[in-house]
Structures are given as structure tokens and as C-alpha cells.
Structure 1
């Protein structure tokens, strides 16, 4: 049951899970995923220490924040300002990024991942293997038409143009002498 649930969480698709495990019906898979998810959610108190929000608010001397209050946003902002300093916020965002990086690196290994998503992940991981070593000749046109590496696969746009920096083929929609990724890299410097 756990294997079926993990396959579903990895693929996000019942049909792909069923394709991997041929002898299971879609309804059965759905029921298994629901059962395992409920059982896992029931164990959160054993593994995660949740603080009592009411006691925390009372101890800090802050007012209780209700959604319908007139000054809801103001109270909530004050509450967060009291609870966390800028350093703690930065540390928590760094910790969150460190926890997510292995998953993002694993997703990057998938060759069928959308190009836009690959570019976002590579930017977050600060990976530069998107670029090839620039060739010595900086001609503006390719000798043979190639598909644009930024367009979705379904469009299959053929082009003679290439990015000035990374030498990848780009269509006229994405052309600005450099592809959007290289322009972003140039802007960061």
C-alpha cells in the first residue's frame, strides 16, 4: 500500500501509477492512497511538536487575531514582527531552501521536465550546465534550422537564430540577441 502511495506522490497521476502496477484498479489505487494519507496524517503529533497557539499568544502578551477583525492585517503583521526577527526569517528561508534542494536536483534529472521549470530549478540551485561553452565564431545564424529550446515541445518552432551567450537555438519570439536566461544572468551581475 505504501509503495502504491509513494508511486502516486512521485508521479502525481493515477494512470501512470496504474501503468507501473498493472494489476491494480484505479478505484483501488485511489482508496489505497486515501487510506495511507489518512494514516500518515494521523501520526503528525508523534513526529512534529506543535506549540499551543493560544498559550503562545497569551505568554507573549499579544492580542488574539481573528479573521473577521477590522484591523486583521495590522494585528497579524504585528504578531509576526514580535515572533520572528529578520535574522530568524532569513535563517528559516535558508533552511527551507536546503530542505528542498535535494528534491529539486532529483526533479532536474527528469529529461521530460518543462524547459521553463528546468530553467527555474537551475536558477534556484545556481547550476550553470544549461550553457555550453561558447564557440569561437559568434555568427548570428545557425547553418541548419533547429528547434527553439525555450518553446514548448508541441510548437516545434524551427529557427536559424541562436543566443549570443549560450549558443542555444531560439525563435524570434524569444530572440533579443540573447535568450531570456542569459539576459537574467547578465542582469544579476
Structure 2
């Protein structure tokens, strides 16, 4: 896995000072555009969960959908989008979370899961962990078992993966980028 992690890291473009000065933006589109890397990336997630009896993949809006959809398909599991507020047309549960300046919300349909479903929560990247933590609170309110939270990239310097682990969650990421 270490060799593969390096392949994925090398396929991700780093854009300095975007969207604002001081930010090192990790652009996953270059990895997705490489069909070999993208296939092996999805295969790595499939291999991890193929025998875990997963009922559903929940994926965070919007880049989590890119990884979550093919993973759900390959596992013969349901795909459930965790959306930004105002994007779902039926009865929803909403969870607010703090941003650096203000708040945001994620939501999911109330009937998306049955209590006890085994779910993997997927996003492209774990930074501060705010969105993933809000999504896990939604999932727990419905009563599902969160098998693991998973992402392509971890930015450990921002502390998100540690916050998720502190909530008792298992965390899987393919590669890390550190500023130190």
C-alpha cells in the first residue's frame, strides 16, 4: 500500500496560493484523469471493504461522490449522498457545523437508511474534519453503524483525522500531505 500511496500522491497536483494566499490546494482531478490511477484507487477501496458486509456508501457533497459512487457499485451497496443544505427534495435531517468564518450545513434524507445498516462514509479529503464530523452525526442520528470513514487524502497537520478518531471512528486514507 505504501508504494501505491506514493503513486497517488504523485498524481495529485498541488496548486499553491489557491483559493487564497497560503493555501496549498490538493487538486485530485489529475489523479482522476489518469485512468490507471483512478482504477487502482477505486480497487484499493473495494479491496478494503469487499468482505465487510457493507450495506451502503454515504458520500459527502461533492467530490466524495466521485469515489463513493463506483465504490458502492463494486460492493453492490446502496449509494447515499450527504448533500449541502437545500439540495435534497424530500424530508431531511440537517446538521450544522462551524467554518473558520460562519457555519455550513449538510443534510440527508430521513429515509436513506435503516437503523443498523453498516455504512462507510467517503470524501475526497480530510482537512479539519468539520464536514465529516457533521456527516457522522447525521448517520448516528439515524442509527447506522459507521464501519469507517475513508478518504483519498489526509491533511494531518489540520487535525481532522485525529478529531474523527477521538469520536471513536476508524479512519482510512490512501495518502497524506503534510506541511511540516
Same fold (TM over 0.5): no
Structure 2 length as normaliser, TM-score? 0.25
Structure 1 length as normaliser, TM-score? 0.24
Bigger helix fraction:
1
Q: Max radius of gyration: which structure?
A: 1
Bigger strand fraction:
2
